[in-house]
Chains A and B, each alone.
Chain A
């Protein structure tokens, strides 16, 4: 049985910004898309932001057509999506800040300046988060432009984590507008009323350990609110509870239709071991992080579009949550 042990937590929709993070390959993008879909189904104006180089969200949410990029688009399933492009976000910021469009455009076009930027660390994360901050602040007439924002954060690797960059900038730069703005972004990241970090993990040995390390680091260093871990791709229990040894019973049959009894048994045994493995490491993630886990089932056919997302969304945002 899959269980959701997230009961009693503050609803995800009660925050303004949910940042989905985790190691590569854990399904961050899927989780971000499912959240966006579920929120839009409840009538929220929701924006899902992609930050990597690849663009996967629009297709998952039913968008057909070319790349969406920095301009963004409203998908047929409801959420707006965009992929923040650091160079464009930087140009926007400089234009807003300096109001000397000619100079900004000329400088950004200089190959030398581009070369310097390519080698410089941290600015991509900073302008990306700055853009998120700007979108969170954006208002249309008398209300916020978006009710809810979901960020599909870059895969965590070594070095600076995405959310830690504003803090580092504040301490590395002594004065000036950039420092002030980095501080605003840092305040958004650290404000538990507005922002929640949602780590996504897989219930296997290495991803489980990496998740525990990530959570410890985010807590200690970044100071962002965390209240649950999403454990993705959990192999559901393959047998009904009254038949825990179905694989053995299949193997013992003298004959079987179609495949041989040992083939039936091998499929069953494989799924049962995967289930046990996932169960064990999901528990370990819960214990090591001290956080409740929200477990998403592995869908045998993969996540192909809005219907599959809706199945996952029903676990992430249960029907009785406002």
Chain B
């Protein structure tokens, strides 16, 4: 098997950047989009929460729910050829569920009934990963548009990073469940023994819920579910199509982690769960890893350290004269070296297990160094793009 290459990503229709919150997915998604455009593709970056200054730098300060092109002139400066294009848009996680209801409700009356339901109003933004589901829905819609070759997705920051993939199945599973069917159709009378037994269970479950929540709650829930039921067919078909896209050959996943033990443990868990779902994880990125400027950090022994200190002190004294606090400067310089070397060693140790596992699974791996500043300008973004697409730099 030949080593996977980052540029292989560009043959896909969807590239999903996944990982816990705060690992730099948004910037990574932007860099991958830029890389695609630089290779002549028409790319759309779908983001949840754009870094304001990065969006400003790209000239798309106010991203909305429609794709917005990055200006040709900027693209030219970033080395994008004339055939390459880059768009960005923001997912509005709050509004999308109402849109789903509007789309799938069988008639205006059913739509109004759902939107006005007491339960819906309170839970629509939390309902079983509905926001995540809506995000996936948008990816599907955008990936079908002929004006884009590929869609790069910055996935939602869910508490549980797979919520967004599992949400459609969970929602449909609930609507289909016999317990819910019973709640919806209490008149559905028993014939067979199995059903009678089930109904006894359902009765127990409902009486328990009723004793805790008082009267009225179950009525509200069943009214909500009933209104929902009419939409479930369209919903189900669509969810199935979304699932096929995400777990099929057209989608590649890039998993990002930060350089901490916690983040790495989370990422390894996510990696095996994604693969268990049949997702194709193509690349793994250890992001913002503190790296030594050249080669490996030095590890001076105690004697050598003292010698370095003395040597630095005399070098400073020679350079700046007697009035200069050469001793203080030498001690501070050694502290800097020690501190940075410790950080580099720690990050390397923290990320090693993830990168080793990723290589074993046949993913390409990248270490993207922590930059001294936030990535908020075009140079910073271009730097990450170069690093990500440079297959020669990283040999596992």
Interface residues of chain A, those whose CB is within 8 Å of chain B, are 23-26, 29, 52-54, 56, 94, 97-98, 103-104, 106-107, 110, 112-113, 115-116, 118-122, 154-155, 157-160, 168, 171-179, 202, 204-207, 209-210, 238-240, 242-243, 246, 249-250, 252-260, 262-264, 266-271, 273-274, 277, 300-302
Pairwise interchain contact B126-A258, C-beta atoms closer than 8 A: no
Question: Does B67 interact with chain A (Cβ within 8 Å)?
Answer: no
Distance A110 CA – B51 CA, assembled complex (angstroms): 45
Pairwise interchain contact A168-B122, C-beta atoms closer than 8 A: yes
Distance A116 CA – B332 CA, assembled complex (angstroms): 61
Residues of B within 8 A of A268 (CB): 333, 336
Q: Which chain A residue shows the least CB distance to B166?
A: A118
Pairwise interchain contact A160-B372, C-beta atoms closer than 8 A: no
* Distance of B139 from chain A, by nearest CB (Å): 16
Pairwise interchain contact B49-A53, C-beta atoms closer than 8 A: no
Pairwise interchain contact A300-B346, C-beta atoms closer than 8 A: yes
Distance A273 CA – B333 CA, assembled complex (angstroms): 16
Residues of A within 8 A of B170 (CB): 118-119
* Distance of A298 from chain B, by nearest CB (Å): 8
Distance A179 CA – B215 CA, assembled complex (angstroms): 11
Distance A135 CA – B215 CA, assembled complex (angstroms): 29
Extra contacts besides A158-B157, A206-B49, A210-B49 (8): CB < 8 Å: A25-B262, A56-B262, A104-B208, A106-B201, A120-B128, A174-B215, A253-B315, A277-B374
Pairwise interchain contact B204-A107, C-beta atoms closer than 8 A: yes
Residues of A within 8 A of B126 (CB): 121-122, 159-160
The contact size tier of chain B is: 35 or more
Question: Does B66 interact with chain A (Cβ within 8 Å)?
Answer: no
Pairwise interchain contact A269-B180, C-beta atoms closer than 8 A: no
Pairwise interchain contact A257-B312, C-beta atoms closer than 8 A: yes
* Distance of B336 from chain A, by nearest CB (Å): 5
Pairwise interchain contact B325-A273, C-beta atoms closer than 8 A: no
Stretch from B9-17, B19-27, B275-283 at the A interface: B19-27
Question: Does B94 interact with chain A (Cβ within 8 Å)?
Answer: yes
Pairwise interchain contact B123-A172, C-beta atoms closer than 8 A: yes
Pairwise interchain contact B336-A264, C-beta atoms closer than 8 A: yes
Residues of B within 8 A of A159 (CB): 125-126, 131
Q: Which of B23, B127, B214 contacts A121 (CB 8 A)?
A: B127
Which among A160, A268, A270 has the greatest number of chain B C-beta atoms within 10 A? A270
Pairwise interchain contact B293-A262, C-beta atoms closer than 8 A: yes
Q: In B98-140, which residues have CB < 8 Å from any A CB? A: 118-119, 122-123, 125-128, 131
Pairwise interchain contact A263-B127, C-beta atoms closer than 8 A: no
* A–B Cβ pairs within 8 angstroms, 26 of them: A23-B157, A25-B21, A98-B208, A98-B211, A106-B204, A107-B201, A115-B179, A116-B174, A120-B128, A158-B94, A158-B131, A168-B122, A174-B217, A176-B215, A204-B374, A205-B51, A207-B22, A209-B52, A250-B333, A253-B312, A253-B316, A255-B315, A258-B308, A259-B294, A267-B336, A269-B372
Stretch from B31-39, B68-76, B337-345 at the A interface: B337-345
Distance A240 CA – B330 CA, assembled complex (angstroms): 11
Q: Which chain A residue shows the least CB distance to B182?
A: A112
Pairwise interchain contact A257-B307, C-beta atoms closer than 8 A: yes
Q: Which chain A residue shows the least CB distance to B307?
A: A257
Q: Which chain B residue shows the least CB distance to A100?
A: B208
Top 8 nearest A-B pairs by Cβ distance? Answer: A176-B214, A25-B22, A24-B21, A273-B372, A175-B214, A112-B179, A121-B126, A119-B174
Residues of B within 8 A of A121 (CB): 123, 126-128
Distance A277 CA – B210 CA, assembled complex (angstroms): 54
Question: Does B354 interact with chain A (Cβ within 8 Å)?
Answer: no
Q: Which of A25, A53, A274 contacts B263 (CB 8 A)?
A: A25
Pairwise interchain contact B208-A157, C-beta atoms closer than 8 A: no
Residues of A within 8 A of B263 (CB): 25
Distance A256 CA – B337 CA, assembled complex (angstroms): 12
Pairwise interchain contact B261-A302, C-beta atoms closer than 8 A: yes
* Known interface pairs A97-B212, A172-B122, A255-B315; A238-B159 also in contact (CB < 8 Å): no
Residues of B within 8 A of A173 (CB): 213-214, 216-217
* Known interface pairs A157-B158, A158-B93; A205-B119 also in contact (CB < 8 Å): no
Pairwise interchain contact B372-A274, C-beta atoms closer than 8 A: yes
* Known interface pairs A119-B128, A277-B374; A257-B311 also in contact (CB < 8 Å): yes
* Known interface pairs A257-B312, A302-B261; A112-B177 also in contact (CB < 8 Å): yes
Q: Which of A112, A178, A253 contacts B201 (CB 8 A)?
A: A112
* Distance of A222 from chain B, by nearest CB (Å): 15
Pairwise interchain contact A264-B173, C-beta atoms closer than 8 A: no
